Structure 1
Amino acid sequence: MYFSIKRKVLNLIYNIGIHLTGVVLKLGAQFNAKLKKGAIGRENTFKILKNSIQKGDKTLWFHCASLGEYEQGLPVFLELRKHYKNHKIILSFFSPSGYEIRKNSPIANVVIYLPLDTKTNAKRFLDLIDPELTIFVKYDIWPNFLNELKSRHLRAILISAAFRKEQSYFKFYGKQLKQALFAFEHIFTQNEASKVLLESINYTSVTVSGDTRYDRVYSQLSLDNSLNFIDTFKNNKLCIVAGSTWPEGEALFTEFINTQVSKDIKFIIAPHDIKPDRIKKLQEKINAKTVLFSERDKHNLAEFEVFIIDTIGILSKIYSYADIAYVGGAVGTTGLHNTLEPAVFGTPILIGNNHAKFLEAQALIDNGGMFEIDSQLNFNKTLNKLITDRDFRLQAGSYNKAFIEKNKGAVIHILDYLRI
């Protein structure tokens, strides 16, 4: 009786919190463009579904928090798209950064924002789509949606999950989230530690499949990664690519370029934020001859030393030209970006030292292909070593490529479970 009352109280607190979150998001939307896009998008979700899904349609539902989870789930989504040719696929995002970039994804018939996780929204949403199979990627666990799936006996799995002992699922106050995990008929984890944590709460339908991101980046090798304008810019010289950069990391690069660089080295910088004022500030700080992607047709790119990519969507191809790569996010606190994208091309990588939540980062460091930096001095020393010692550079890069090769295969585990 005590535990039943306690659970009801925790559920009530959660549901009140979700409704308050909705109010806060609507207020914030008046002052923040990103929040505004999300608010407007969520308001349109049910209308889109009503116009797109007809009674009797067979459907699959894929949910991703944002762009990173979409890329992580994509290898599985593609295989399911091939198998379920007569099904309509609903792809949902919580974050505008995922929705805005992938709203025209070819793997889905309908791309939407996920409504807020209220009981009413969950019932209404599932009344409209009634999915034959639901796949959540990594995290973004929404209890009301998942519990509603379970109450309707609808299939749901979680893929590429990674858990840490400090998360709410494993605390006394996390019963609502913990209960939601049991709505999944099976969970595929990235590592053994996550499986052990799940078993500690008596969830046993779990498989250590690895991370589907390895399959995703490995597939990049089978694509045409050539970019003529990068060929022209690189001009057969050593090329350093700084991807998904933030100001803290860009400061390290501008200092290095301005004080240490030789004309035999080319730099490509692809900022995470490509707003014109940010790009202008970055360009003004660099003393070397610099050109923007948006101005590439006006110049002979071979004459420039620094190429700033003020667009999105081509970084994974650009990494194929890198002799050395830097991946942003971990110098500051914004979160490390995708280090596997350059690793698959056999490229040594530099990152900041704030990467504790990114399991693959420490693994790549331990494997000898990635290097963490914590100061300008350390950055300069490590980068100069990679520039001047060719054998060291090539060996480090080969460690990264071998690491990707070793860890791919998660998709096969998932498809085997689904009997596809």
Structure 2
Amino acid sequence: MKTLYSSGIHIANLFIKGASIFNKKLKLGVVGRSETFTRLKTHISEKDRTFWFHCASLGEYEQGLPVFQQLKEKYPTHKIVLSFFSPSGYEIRKDSPIADIAVYLPLDTKNNAKQFLDLVHPDLIVFVKYDIWPNFLEEIQQRQLRALLISATFRAEQSFFKSYGGFMRNALFAFEHIFTQDESSKILIEGIGYSSVSVSGDTRYDRVSHQLNIDNTLTHIETFKDNQTTIIFGSSWPEDDAIFIPLINSCKNKDIKFIIAPHNIKPSYTKSLVSQIESDTVSYTNMSSNTLQDYKVFILDTIGQLSKAYHYADIAYVGGAIGKTGLHNILEPAVFSLPIVIGNNHKKFPEAMKMQKNGGLFSISNQKEFNDIIHTLIEDQPFRVKSGQLNSDYITLHKGATTSIIEYLSRAPL
């Protein structure tokens, strides 16, 4: 299995380099990985004490950020190396103030692992959620470096728990401690003989809770809202558009405002949305603050404002689950006490299942179900407020994962 895996990595490397000629995102990763070692040599010296934080992509970065921030505050003289595997994480957070240097993680070969660790020589390594790279972890274990896996989730169908998964399974033992999101993940890990595991919960709850402590003012959204009931469609895809645009068009004469924050913010996509909407529509990139209140639909075609925009909404629809692209972040609107509507393909998202059971989240599978719940939430304010409060209470109940992780490290200082 080990030989097969290593051969597969080399084959994947060749394929990625070839495909990158035709794919801009892949090319960013190929070029970025080719620069990693040079950049590390420039920014990290042998005398530096370092932490290495690794995230697969943007979501894992946001998930790990509360832990990263506390470690940075607790150990201000350590340099922080932040690595990503995906361009969608690196390109957005490469200038993160949490890190002294952000890099692409090289592909998981023995030589890459040795060279990377020689250059970084970390006192502590933190992996977030998953991205289990066995060659890197084997080298970490051989060097007896301290490594944690935080906010981890495991499922029985993963290779770690299969008869053929010994190589991947052994990689987990490189972690000094694994903090899982739930009890079922802990039981799975204990079943393979790994005992240094505890249920801390999900650090994402700490991350989104912090949103309430910052200034969420967006003057353009406040002006647009104009004190009217506002529905926001967050991280929407074409499949979501097909569900909510008919609703928007049916509400032309009602005192309701709509904010669309599409996943795709290319001008061509924004233009397509505008062409389908029958009400006055403005986008962030062409707005005029003097007339915003006169529009019924606001398209937020920019990055980094959605989490604050939820502050101004009364109802949230979160995209991704009506199709097969994967449900986007439902915790961001939940922290602002919003009732949430999503598609029905959310079985791999336990927080969605629990929030639906609690009564604050509503799953729909077709246009009629969507229209029915949205109109109920619009017309029945007590029901809307109660549903939103249930979501806020759920966030509060699940905070504290970061504290558990930091307390663990405090018992064995670095």
**Normalising by structure 2, what TM-score?**
0.98
**1: CA distance, partners of 2:346 / 2:146:** 34
Gaps of 5+ in 2: none
In structure 1, the residue matched to 2:220 is: 229
1:211 aligns with 2:202: yes
CA contact (8 A) 2:364 2:370 kept: yes
User: Does 2:393 correspond to 1:402?
Assistant: yes
Residue 167 of structure 1 aligns with which residue?
A: 158
Amino acid at match of 2:308: K
Partner of 2:48, secondary structure, is coil
- Following TM superposition, by how much is the alpha carbon of 1:263 offset from its aligned partner in structure 2, in angstroms? 3.1
The percent identity for this pair of structures is 58
Conserved? CA contact 1:263–1:305, under 8 Å: no
Distance 1:411 1:207 in 2: 13
Q: Which residue in 2 is equivalent to 1:344?
A: 335
Q: Which residue pairs with 1:355 in the alignment? A: 346
Aligned residues: 411
- 2:120 is matched with which residue? 129
Conservation of the 8 A alpha-carbon contact between 2:252 and 2:279: no
**Correspondences of 1:174-253 after superposition (within 5 Å):** 174-253=165-244
- Partner residue, 1:94: 85
Q: CA deviation at 1:250?
A: 1.1
- Matched position secondary structure for 1:182: helix
> 2: CA distance between counterparts of 1:69 and 1:374?
28
CA distance in 2, matches of 1:208, 1:35: 36
Match of 1:331 in 2: 322
Q: 2:254 aligns with which of 247, 263, 268?
A: 263
Mapped pair 1:25 → 2:16: yes
Structure 1 ranges of 4+ moved more than 6 A: none
CA distance in 1, matches of 2:338, 2:123: 41
1:158 touches 1:188 (CA, 8 Å); kept in 2? yes
Is 1:118 aligned to 2:109, yes or no? yes
Q: Secondary structure at the match of 1:173?
A: coil
| Equivalent AA in structure 2 for residue 210 of structure 1 | G
Aligned counterpart in structure 1 of residue 66 of structure 2, from 70, 75, 85: 75
Q: What is aligned with 1:6?
A: none
Deviation at 1:262, TM superposition (A): 3.8
- Tell me the CA shift for residue 299 of structure 1: 5.2
Matched with 1:5 is none
1:359-384 deviation per Cα after TM superposition (whole angstroms, max 9, x unaligned):
11101101110000100111001111
Partner residue of 1:366 out of 348, 357, 366:
357
Deviation at 1:411, TM superposition (A): 0.5
- 2:269 corresponds in structure 1 to 278
Q: Counterpart of 2:13 in structure 1: which amino acid?
A: G
Residue by residue, what CA displacement relative to the aligned partner does 1:222-262 show, whole Å, maximum 9, x if unpaired? Answer: 00101111110000000001111111001111111112454
For residue 172 of structure 1, give the secondary structure of its aligned residue in structure 2: coil
Measure the CA separation in 2 of the matches of 1:20 and 1:278: 35
Cα shift readout 1:255-309 (whole Å, capped 9, x = no counterpart)? 1111245430000000011111111111111111100001123651000000001
Give the aligned CA root-mean-square deviation in angstroms. Answer: 0.9
Structure 2 equivalent of residue 155 of structure 1: 146
CA contact (8 A) 1:326 1:350 kept: yes
